Every structure is written in C-alpha cells, then in structure tokens.
Amino acid sequence: MGLHIVLVEPEIPQNTGNIARTCAATGAELHLVAPLGFSLEDKYLKRAGLDYWDMLTMRRYPSLDDFMEEHGGKSLYLVTTKARQVYSDVTYPEDAYLLFGKETAGLPEDLLMARPGQCVRIPMIEGARSLNLSNAVAILAYECLRQQGFAHMRRFGHFPE
C-alpha cells in the first residue's frame, strides 16, 4: 500500500505541483479532493511537477464526502495548526493517509472536531500562522518514511566511496 497524501480543495497550482513531485519522488499516492482551485492542465501545476508526472499515482474525488466514504475507516491523520498533538510524537502505520486542507482555510472544522485524536500539527513560533502547504506535506511525508526506515527508497547517493 504505502503512504497517501490527501489534498482537500487545494487552491494554488504551484503548491500542488510541488506536492506531486514530492509524492512521485517518495512513492506516495496523491489524492485530490474537489473542488480544486485550478485546472489539472494548469501550466504552473505542470511546471512545478516538472518531469515527474509519469512517476505519480494520483486519484481524484468529487468531494470530501466521497473521499471519506471510501477511506474514512483507514489510518487518517489530519494536519492542522489547531491540533494539540505534534506530528513527530505519532507512530504512523505504513499505509497512513495524511490530510491537508486548502491553503486559505485548512481542513473543515467539523472534520477536525469529529476526529480530535487524529489531528497533528507542526510546531511553529508564536505569531506564525502556518507553513506553505508543500513544505508541510514534505515534513510529514518524510517523517512517516523515516519511521519506516525509508524501506522502499534508495538510501545512498552516487558518490564513490
């Protein structure tokens, strides 16, 4: 199975393109929940993903309800600035689903309230509102993969010994 990155109503094509590239490079599956704030044909989206699109596994859902109907019973982790639990204090299963909300509003409040034990946050200094969405995805994705020992990834570079 593996890691799953879920973007709920993403608004900025460059962020989604960067996230798609991260997913492709890590083997994570990307789930996009509509409505999207851009077309999947957007030139900024394509440019940010560069030549990684053929390495990406991506699924689309017409709504959050549709996504939850299919995956709601799985290991979901809701990434929000409102959580008490720090992301690095969680032990993630191999098939974790990391949910991220839209750039301007985050995840829906009712979803967060219904699953408080599944909410995680990235620590920030007082007064900082949030991190860029693509940075937040990278932080959480690599923590999950680190916990799994980067099992399916190349661990060493190409430098001679």
pLDDT tens, 2-29?
999 999 999 998 899 899 999 999 999 9
Residue 153 lies in a domain: no
Average pLDDT, the chain: 91
User: Could you give the C-alpha distances from 118 to 7, 58, 72, 92, 131, in angstroms and in order?
Assistant: 16, 23, 12, 11, 20
Q: Supply the CATH number for residue 112's domain.
A: 3.40.1280.10
Domain span at residue 97 reads: 4-147
Residue 156 lies in a domain: no
Domain count within the chain: 1
pLDDT tens across 40-58, in order?
776 766 665 556 778 899 9
Lowest mean pLDDT among 40-54, 94-108, 144-158: 40-54
Alpha carbons within 13 angstroms on the beta-carbon side of residue 83 total 28
Whole-prediction pTM value? 0.91
